[in-house]
Amino acid sequence: MTTHLIGDTAVLTGRSLRHVTRSMDTVITTAVTPIAIMLLFVFVFGGAIDAGDVPYIAYLLPGILLITIATGVGYTSYRLFLDRQSGIFARFRSMPIAGSSVLWAHVLTSVVANAVSVVLVVLVALLLGFRSGAGVLEWLAVGGILLVFTLALTWVSVIAGLTAKTVDGASALSYPLIFLPFISSAFVPTESMPAPVRWFAENQPVTSIVDSVRALMTGQPVGSELWIALAWCVGILLVAAAVATATHRRRRE
């Protein structure tokens, strides 16, 4: 059964990736918005923001990477919705393939596409002067956190793709996800915020994830923030995957 699932997932992932490579503008577009935000904050607002001993581009980059991923998962719900509308799901139901392989194909495609976008954003950050004192292990930890974060948001986007009534509804998921980093420690220290906003910023998942990635990138101690970040990511991932799988199963019956 496991071999059957893996084989079906590999075939359907290949199909989905071919669609992405035929329209690379979607991957590029995913990176354009975060890069524009990064340029805006570095060259317009950066001089007015006190980031302490960390250069502002290094302070800013973790939040920009999360925005990149949040932008990218919107395309996952969009592609999933189009598959539903085109009738391909009904065709898959008539074939002897593992039901969950359809969802996993979209999830793995999201991981690959978002990884490309993240690399593009990091390359632009390097051109803007970003330098990291992190070693190999720290960068592997950064990659691991971003991978789990991508998986968590992608499964949330799968729920949107399965339940949306219109293509606009499927695509709109990314907007609130993109907005969350702006009310976190991604762009300014939370100490500068009014008390109610500061409380929200310090207790929402993006802040712990941003702080952990920033500490790893700059070679600083991570502390307990890393475990809080992982708990948020894994928790969202498990709940979203369970809900998405149950939703898909109900639609197959």
Long-range CB contact pairs, 187-191, < 8 A, 24+: 187/41, 187/45, 187/49, 187/60, 187/63, 188/49, 189/50, 189/51, 189/52
Per-residue 3-state assignment (H helix, E strand, C coil) for 41-74 = HHHHHHHHCCCCCCCHHHHHHHHHHHHHHHHHHH
- The band of 214, judged by pLDDT with boundaries at 50, 70 and 90, is very high
Query: What is the mean predicted confidence (pLDDT) over 117-137?
Result: 90
Contact 100, 248 (CB under 8 A): yes
Which of these ranges, 97-101, 168-172, 198-202, 227-231, has the smallest mean pLDDT?
97-101
Domain range for residue 168?
Answer: 2-252
Residue with tokens 């009738």: 87
Token pair listed for 193: 């915020």
Report whether pLDDT(1) > 50. no
Domain count, the chain: 1
Contact 196, 216 (CB under 8 A): no
H-run or E-run covering 123: helix 99-127
Q: How confident is the model over 215-233, as pLDDT tens digits?
A: 999 888 888 889 999 999 9
H-run or E-run covering 241: helix 225-252
Query: What is the mean predicted confidence (pLDDT) over 163-192?
Result: 84
Four-residue CA torsion sign, 49, 143, 159, 10: positive
Q: Mention every residue, 6+ apart, whose C-beta is less than 8 A from residue 9.
A: 98, 101, 104, 105, 108
The crossing angle, in degrees rounded to 10, of helices 56-86 and 205-217 is 130
The crossing angle, in degrees rounded to 10, of helices 225-252 and 205-217 is 130
Going by C-alpha positions, the residue among 206, 242, 177, 180 that lies closest to residue 62 is 206
Query: What is the mean predicted confidence (pLDDT) over 62-67?
Result: 94
Model-level pTM?
A: 0.89
Dist. CA 129–CA 124, nearest whole Å: 9
User: Within a 10 A sphere around the Cβ of 251, how many other Cβ atoms?
Assistant: 14
Dist. CA 110–CA 77, nearest whole Å: 10
